[in-house]
């Protein structure tokens, strides 16, 4: 398991080390560096050993299969004192790896400073990484069902989720702690439907393959009182959150002990109950997999705290980071959790807006804030 990520001259970070746990939550104001932490890990999969002018070295591709971030200049810290950036990771075993790149202003490329070893190459290629970006696919009339993505991949945007359900819907969910008590079976499709029911009670799902044209279609129906059958509706005609969240549910249900799951804004388009339910699923997945979540949701954060209090996850398996811009660089504040889900301190701006608004509502007119 990764236990830290080290960033130097990377985007908003001058130099920072961020601790990682079984479940890591990244929060903070917009443009404070949350997504950059996740992007740094994803970019390790965009190190190209074939495109470097020197075949013993490698090129870090800001734009590639997973991310489109521009050129090397866009990744180099704006106020960097040197044209060198690095991404490093630490592991529970005590091992540490670091990839150092020179920025070449004339070409805009990032070329490895030292010769990259075959061992480093294999480490990056073997990262069991599942990344779902904030801008995921929502409702569509059809979804791709071609083989352009590797088998088992959901796609960065979740665009291959329904293909995965068609190919693996009957496969049992291996992690028993992820099994929903109301699911009709242990298979992936039954488990997905049950967890979707936490977001929209009574929802049913139908997935069809249109293999002749390389497409898949999906529909959603709803149980009615008296067992009156509901017809299935196109995704565009039901709640946006169903289509938007299904890729995250599938990714979490398919996680294994070796998985590294990176989720951006899992709460998007979900009402508070749905956000809290998704937090429960995230917690259960992190009993085996390593999960890193970027979120603005106090419901997700509090759902994790409740899980710690209920002993579903130990406090030392969780890391909460609050990122802020401090002048020209991003800084990290890390309150710790105790066994009751209480935080050691509340950084200014850390999920405190609800309390601020309530205080304003109960304040007597004419009194100072």
Q: Domain of 312: which CATH number?
A: 3.40.50
Clarify whether residues 122 and 151 are in a common domain.
no
Among 189, 222, 253, which residue terminates a domain? 253
**pLDDT tens for each residue of 102-129:** 999 999 999 998 877 778 888 888 888 9
Q: Is 261 left (phi over 0), alpha (psi -120 to 50) or beta?
A: beta
Among 227, 253, 279, which residue terminates a domain? 253
- State the CB neighbour count (10 A cutoff) for residue 356: 11
**pLDDT tens for each residue of 70-82:** 999 999 999 999 9
Clarify whether residues 22 and 105 are in a common domain.
yes
- Mean pLDDT score across all residues of the chain: 88
**pLDDT tens for each residue of 13-64:** 999 999 999 999 999 888 888 999 999 999 999 988 665 555 678 899 999 9
Clarify whether residues 330 and 363 are in a common domain.
yes
Clarify whether residues 248 and 294 are in a common domain.
no
pTM of the predicted structure, to 2 decimals: 0.90
Q: Which range marks the domain in which residue 32 is found?
A: 1-128+256-369
Clarify whether residues 97 and 144 are in a common domain.
no
> Whole-angstrom Cα distance, residue 297 to residue 275?
8
- Nearest alpha carbon to residue 250 among 310, 188, 190: 188
Residue 352 has pLDDT above 70, yes or no: no
Among 253, 287, 309, which residue terminates a domain? 253
Clarify whether residues 115 and 18 are in a common domain.
yes
**pLDDT tens for each residue of 233-275:** 888 888 888 888 999 999 999 999 889 999 999 998 889 888 9
Do the beta carbons of residue 319 and residue 23 sit within 8 Å?
yes
Domain count, the chain: 2
Clarify whether residues 274 and 166 are in a common domain.
no
Clarify whether residues 269 and 331 are in a common domain.
yes
Clarify whether residues 245 and 263 are in a common domain.
no
């Amino acid at each position: 398991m990764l236990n830290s990520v080290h960033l130097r001259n990377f985007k908003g970070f001058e130099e920072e080390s961020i601790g990682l746990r079984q479940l890591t939550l990244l929060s903070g104001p917009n443009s404070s560096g949350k997504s950059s932490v996740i992007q740094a890990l994803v970019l390790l999969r965009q190190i190209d050993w074939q495109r470097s002018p020197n075949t013993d070295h490698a090129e870090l591709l800001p734009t590639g299969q997973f991310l489109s971030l521009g050129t090397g200049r866009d990744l180099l810290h704006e106020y960097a004192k040197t044209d060198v950036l690095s991404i490093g990771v630490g592991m529970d075993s005590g091992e540490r790896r670091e990839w150092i790149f020179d920025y070449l202003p004339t070409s805009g490329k990032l070329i490895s400073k030292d010769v990259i070893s075959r061992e480093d190459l294999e480490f990056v290629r073997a990262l069991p990484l599942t990344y779902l970006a904030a801008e995921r696919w929502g409702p569509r009339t059809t979804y791709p069902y071609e083989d352009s993505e590797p088998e088992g991949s959901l796609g960065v945007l979740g665009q291959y989720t329904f293909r995965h359900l068609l190919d693996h819907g009957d496969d049992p969910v291996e992690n028993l702690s992820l099994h929903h008590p109301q699911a009709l079976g242990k298979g992936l499709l039954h488990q997905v439907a049950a967890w979707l029911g936490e977001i929209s009670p009574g929802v049913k799902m139908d997935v069809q393959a249109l293999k002749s044209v390389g497409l898949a279609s999906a529909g959603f129906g709803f149980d009615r009182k008296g067992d009156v059958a509901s017809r299935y509706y196109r995704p565009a005609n039901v709640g946006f959150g169903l289509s938007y969240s299904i890729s995250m549910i599938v990714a979490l249900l398919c996680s294994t002990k070796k998985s590294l799951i990176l989720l951006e804004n899992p709460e998007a388009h979900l009402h508070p109950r749905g956000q809290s339910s998704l937090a429960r699923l995230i917690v259960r997945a992190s009993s085996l997999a390593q999960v890193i979540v970027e979120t603005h949701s106090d419901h997700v954060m509090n759902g994790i705290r409740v899980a710690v209090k209920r002993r579903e996850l130990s406090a030392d398996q969780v890391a909460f980071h609050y990122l802020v811009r401090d002048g020209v660089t991003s800084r990290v504040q890390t309150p710790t959790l105790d066994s009751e889900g209480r935080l050691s301190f509340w950084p200014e701006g850390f999920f405190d807006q609800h309390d601020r608004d309530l205080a304003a509502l109960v304040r007597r007119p004419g009194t100072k804030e």
